[in-house]
Amino acid sequence: MSIAWSPFSLVQACRLHTIQADQSQPWLRLFKVSVFHHGLTHFFATHGLGADTERARWVADVSRALRILTQSLFPSFQLAVFPLPGASWTSTRLLAGYMLLYDDQGVSLVYGELHAHCDNTAGFAAYEDDACKVQVVHLAIDTNTCVSERVGIDCSCFSLGDHHFSTRTCAEKMLWLRAISNVKVGFVPP
């Protein structure tokens, strides 16, 4: 079997169906690799006296490979908080930077930009690049906007509304999620 990974994949150690089943078979340890945008999850097991150690090694190696793959798709850049000179539509920018977007067309590199509240709405825009001239996604953000993170070892994926994104690192994902959460909390409906 071969599995094609993408930046929208994650790896996790997992257990058998119950804690008791896990404890009764200490020589067997499971982990899974999920390619969540395709709805695929593959389970693997290590077996033997060193099953815990072997599983930890596999999980770390797969996580590292996913991180290298993901980071290889990004240009060199720094997150931005200041608006672009001559681009008034970026004047309410709170946070901006490159991220990966998964949609029906596949995976693409976009430049995401989170905006402060303006006229009773906050927004998230994704552009073709850091010039912010060609917008490919625009989302209004309010208290009902669904924001979720994917949980896996060193996973940098999250969803905003119906859109799936991946950042360069897990730490960068947490920064974006904190900023989005702060925008949602600060929303005061009219």
* Nearest in space to 137 (alpha carbons), one of 149, 156, 124, 120: 124
pLDDT at 33: 92
Whether residue 2 lies inside any domain: the answer is no
Co-location of 36 and 103 in the same domain? no
Q: Is the dihedral of CA 136, 142, 146, 147 positive or negative?
A: positive
In a domain, 79, yes or no: no
Same domain, yes or no, for 93 and 180? Answer: yes
In a domain, 109, yes or no: yes
User: What's the domain range around 53?
Assistant: 9-72
How much is the pTM?
0.87
pLDDT, tens digit, for every residue of 115-142?
998 767 789 999 999 999 999 999 998 8
Domain boundary among 72, 96, 111: 72
Q: Please check whether residues 49 and 103 belong to one and the same domain.
A: no
77 falls within a domain: no
67-to-11, 26, 83, 91 alpha-carbon distances in Å: 11, 29, 29, 33
Tell me, what's the pLDDT at 189? 55
The string over 89-113, giving b where at least 16 C-beta atoms fall within 10 Å of a residue's C-beta and e elsewhere, is: ebeebbbbbbbbbbeeeebeebbbb
Within a domain: residue 4? no
Choose the final residue of a domain: 72, 97, 119: 72
Residue 126 shares a structural domain with residue 57: no
Q: Write down the pLDDT at residue 139.
A: 93
DSSP string across 21-81: HHHH-TTEEEEEEEEGGGTEEEEEEEESTTHHHHHHHHHHHHHHHHHHHHHHTS-S---B-
Residues 94 and 178 in one domain: yes
Q: What is the pLDDT of residue 184?
A: 83
Low-confidence ranges of the chain (pLDDT < 70): 1, 119, 186-190
User: Do residues 101 and 173 both lie within one domain?
Assistant: yes
